[in-house]
Structure 1
Amino acid sequence: MIKLQSEIEGKRAYFGIVKDLFDLNGCSFCSNFDYHQGKFDAVLWREGGETIYLRVPINVLEGALDHSSAYIEFGTPYVIKHVVNIGLDYDEHSLLTGTTGLTQFQEPLDKDGYIRDKSRWELAGEEKINRILNSIDTLLSS
């Protein structure tokens, strides 16, 4: 994981407004959230079973994340690499999964994989965050 220094950390806004801006900038809101915290993700690179993400965590100050009126604060953004098994899952749960559909996805082989050329991905993450910040600033000044 590579933590990024960014002006987005500590900024506050309404969830509905920033969600739309993040969407427009190629980021998605992670469906794995609770009502008090969540994160936005952007894929910076993907090849085979390896994906490098920019991740921007958020905390709710007022309201709940299932409402666009939730007032949020941004945490420290970071770059992370996930490595997943893109083959078939041949463990003791495979037959149960295939017949019942209880498990849709395999766990990543490595949730925080080694990132080569860290300066490249640090720069890519910072550039993406700066584009988002420019969108927020443009919206607030109009």
Structure 2
Amino acid sequence: MLELDTPIEGKLACFGTLRDKVSDHGYHFGGGWDYNRGHFDSILSREGGETIYLRVPFVVHDGELDDYNTYIKFKKPYVIKHVVNTGLDRNASSLLSGSFNQFQEPVDKDAEIRDKSRWETAGELAIEDILQYLE
């Protein structure tokens, strides 16, 4: 994990409005959220079984996350690298059904990031896509 120092930390935004706008820039509202925290993810690079993501976490400032008009406050963003097995994943249920499971858990959810300055710069530039919509 590579933490980024950017001006987004501490900024407020309307969750629903921002989610709609940043989706055009490749950001997705990440899984694993609850009613008082969540994150936006964007893919910076995907090569073979390696994917480098920008993750922009936030906490709820006012409201609950299932409400479009909830206000969120951003925390420190970071870059993370996931590594998956590029072969097909055969498990007991997929063998029984005669199909393959294409949705695998990463082999390494926090793999080492090489060329850190490159990914710091890429992450900081990607944050600009969100900053342009903040109050």
Alpha carbons of structure 1 residues 63 and 115: separation in structure 2 relative to 1, 3 Å = same
Gaps of 5+ in 1: none
1:53 matched residue in structure 2: 53
Instruction: Detail structure 1 runs of 4+ shifted over 2 Å in the superposition.
Output: 96-101, 103-106
**Aligned pair 1:10/2:13, yes or no?**
no
Report the Cα distance in structure 2 between the residues aligned to 1:80 and 1:13, rounded to whole angstroms: 23
| Cα distance per residue 1:54-91 (max 9 Å; x no partner) | 1000111222211111111101000000001121334x
* Unaligned runs of at least 5 residues, structure 2: none
**Is 1:97–1:104's contact at 8 Å kept on the other side of the alignment?**
no
Other-structure match for 1:108: 106
> Does structure 1 conserve the Cα–Cα contact (< 8 Å) formed by 2:88 and 2:102?
no
Residue 6 of structure 1 aligns to which amino acid in structure 2? T
Q: Which has the higher helix share?
A: 1
Q: CA RMSD in A?
A: 1.9
TM, length-normalised to structure 2: 0.88
Normalising by structure 1, we get a TM-score of 0.84
Secondary structure in 2 matching 1:108:
coil
SS at match of 1:21: helix
Match of residue 33 from structure 2: 33
Distance (Å, rounded) in 1 between the aligned partners of 2:67 and 2:94: 33
Match of 1:95 in 2: 92
**Corresponding residue pairs, total:** 133
Counterpart of 1:121 in structure 2 is: 119
Q: 1:68 to 1:104 in 2, by over 3 A?
A: farther
